[in-house]
Amino acid sequence: MQLKEIIPTPLQPLARRAYSLMRAEYDKQVHERPNTSYRSKIAAGAGLPNFIKYAEDMCADGAVVIPNFFDPKQLLEMRIEFQRLVETNPFNAQAKAEQGAHIATGRLQESALFSELALEPSILALVQYYWGKPVVLNGAGGTRYEPAKLKDGGSNQWHHDGKRKQVRVFLFMTDVPSNGQCTLFVPGSHKTFHYDVSQSRLNSKKAPLAKNIARCSGPAGSLAMIDTNLAHRANRNTGPRRDTWNYAFRAPNPVSTQLNTAPSLHPEVVARLTPEQRRIARLT
C-alpha cells in the first residue's frame, strides 16, 4: 500500500518529512555511533607508531596528518604510477580550465599499486578506529593541482561533502606546504550532524571565521585523513603543484545516505584478497 492511500493528501508532505527525519536519526544514533570495544580491538592490533595519538587527534579534530607515512622507495613508485595515470587520462575540459587533472574512481582497476594501497593495514586501522566499526571502500581517485589562482566555486569553497560521516584518506606525492594548495578545514566541525544533506555548500553567512581554520599540509610521502563532514575547502593558489591520491571509506548499510558504487580493484589484486579484504572491497 502506498503512502497516498493511507495518509490524507494534505498530510503527505509532513509524513514524508517525518519519515526522512526518522531515517536520518537512525544513522545519527546507530550507524555513525562508534563502538568502544571495537576501537580497543583495532588499537590492540595496530602496528603504526603513535597510533593512538593519531587516532585520537582524528576523533577530536576530524582531520590528522601523519608525516612521512611512506618511505622513499614507496613514494617513488607512487609518483611513477600517478604520472602514468595522468599522462593517459582522458581529456577533461573542466579540469583543464581549472589547471589540473582528475583521475576518476573507475581507473583504480587499472592500477595494481593504488588498488593494494586501498587495503594498507595501518590506513585501514586508523579508519576503522575512527568509525568504531568495520568499513567499506566508497571511492578513490587522483588529483593534480597546478599553480593557479581561481575564483571560489565547486570544492574551492567552504562545504561539507553531503554524505555525513565519511573518511577520506589523501596520499601526498608532492610537498604540500601550509601556504600552498592544501585543504583548509575547521577542527571539530565534523561533529555537526546535517539532517539535510541536499545543500552542502556553505554560503558567506555560514563560512568559517579565519581564526578557526586549520590546514592539511606536510612533506611528500605524508598521509592525511579527514572526515568530509568537516567544513572544508580546497585552497587553490600559485603555490607548488599538488599531486594526491585519495580513498573514501564509510561504514556499510547507511539508511538515509547511500553508498557510492563499489570501486573496482585491479584484477591481480582481487585474485589474492583475503575474505576480510573482499568484504572491505564489497566483493562479498
Angstrom distance (rounded) from CA 165 to CA 195 = 12
Q: Please, which residues bridge with residue 218 across strands?
A: 176
Query: Are 262 and 194 in contact, with CB atoms under 8 Å apart?
Result: no
Q: Which residues contact 23 (CB under 8 A, 6 or more apart)?
A: 255, 256
Residue 192 has pLDDT above 90, yes or no: yes
- The per-residue pLDDT for range 76-129, each reduced to its tens digit, is 999 999 999 999 999 988 888 889 999 999 999 999 999 999 999 999 999 999
Pairing of strands 223-227, 63-66: antiparallel
Q: Please, which residues bridge with residue 214 across strands?
A: 185
Domains delineated in the chain: 11-280 (2.60.120.620)
Cell numbers for 104: 576518476
pTM score of the predicted model: 0.93
